[in-house]
Amino acid sequence: MAKLNMVEAINLGLREEMEKDDRVVVLGEDVGREGGVFRVTDGLQEKFGADRVVDTPLAESGIVGTALGMAIYGLRPVAEIQFDGFLYPCLDQITNHIGRMRNRSRGRFTCPLVIRVPYGGGIHAPEHHSESPEAILAHTPGIKVVIPSTPYEAKGLLLSSIRDPDPVLFLEPKRIYRAIREEVPEGDYTIPLGRARMVQEGKDITIIAWGAIVREALNAAEQLKGDKIEVEMIDLRTISPMDVETIVTSIRKTGRGVIVHEAPKTCGLGAEIIALINEKALLSLQAPIERVTGFDIPVPLMKSEHYYLPNPERIVMAVKKVMSF
C-alpha cells in the first residue's frame, strides 16, 4: 500500500473511478494538458482523452452550468474550480439550478455532479485564493458539502461523492495538499457522506474542526496533555448534511466544547453548531462553547496571513478558558 499525499490520493480516486465508470468526466480550467493548477488531474487527459478530461475556457459559471447539463443527461461530471474565490460566479448555477433540480422536477431528474474546489488559506496566495465559503454553501438546500482532512479520507469521500445521486461541493484544503502522507489503498473503498470521524477520544472537552484545521487542533490537543486535559476530537468531514448525533453524543460526554474553523466568525458554521448543541444538549454543558475562527475581515495577504488563521496556541487558550469554568 503506497503512502500518498492528498493530491495523489484524489488523482488516484479520479483515475480509478474513470476506469470503472465511463460516465465520469472531468472538466475545468487547465485540468487536461496542464493537469490542473495544483496538478491534481495530472495524466488523466493522456490516459482518458480530451473527450473525458476537458480543458474549458476561463468561465466558472459556464463550467458549472455545463456540468449541470451533463449530469441531467446521464453523465457524472467532476468540475474543477481553480480556487475557492472563483466559486462565487458559480453561485447562481449552484443555488438556483443545481441544488433545486431534484425538487423542481419532482424527482424526475437528479443532479449527480461533483464540484472540486481547492479551499482555504495558508499558502501565501493573492486575493481571492484563500476563501472559506462552506457556511454559504451549507446554507444552500439540495447540495452536500464535503471537506476531507487527510489523503485517505480524501479518496474515500471523493468516491462517495462521485457516486452520490445529488450534487456535492468537494472542498480540498490546499494547505495540506502535500503536507501529509499516509497509506492510501488502491482499489475501491468509500467513506459515507454525513458521518463525522472520531479522531481521538477524551473525557474533558470536545474540539470540533474540519479540513486543514484538524491538524492544528491535534497539535493543540498534544500540548494540552501536559496540563492533563484529555481532548475528544471530531473531524466533521461532511459539513452538510452534518453528523449532529456524533456532536451531541460527545458534548453530553465531556460537557465542554471548542469549535475551530478558518472562516470568519460571524454567521460561521461554529454558530450553527452551537445552536444545535443548545437545542439538543444544553443541560449537559458545564461551560459556554468557545469558538476559534478567522476574523471578520477579508483573508490578509501573505505577510499577515498567519495572524488570521487559527493556530494551536489560540486553540489551547480557548480550551483553557472553557476548562476554567
Residues catalogued as catalytic: 129
- Identify the DSSP state of 21: -
**3-class DSSP state for residue 239?**
strand
Q: Residue 83 is placed in which grid cell?
A: 480556487
- Distance, CA of 271 to CA of 1 (rounded, Å): 40
Secondary structure, 3-state, 261-322 = EEEECCCCHHHHHHHHHHHHHHHHCCCCCEEEEECCCCCCCCCCHHHHCCCHHHHHHHHHHH
Instruction: Say whether the peptide bond before residue 133 is cis (omega within 30 degrees of 0).
Output: no
Q: Which helix (H) or strand (E) holds 154?
A: helix 151-163
Q: Taking a C-beta distance cutoff of 8 angstroms, is the pair 309, 123 a contact?
A: no
Return d(Cα 237, Cα 155) in angstroms, integer.
12
- The HSE-up count of residue 248 (CA atoms within 13 Å, CB side) is 14
**Is the distance from CB of 3 to CB of 25 less than 8 angstroms?**
no
Q: What is the DSSP letter of 171?
A: E
Report d(CA 135, CA 146) in Å as an integer.
12
Distance CA 162, CA 140 (A): 19
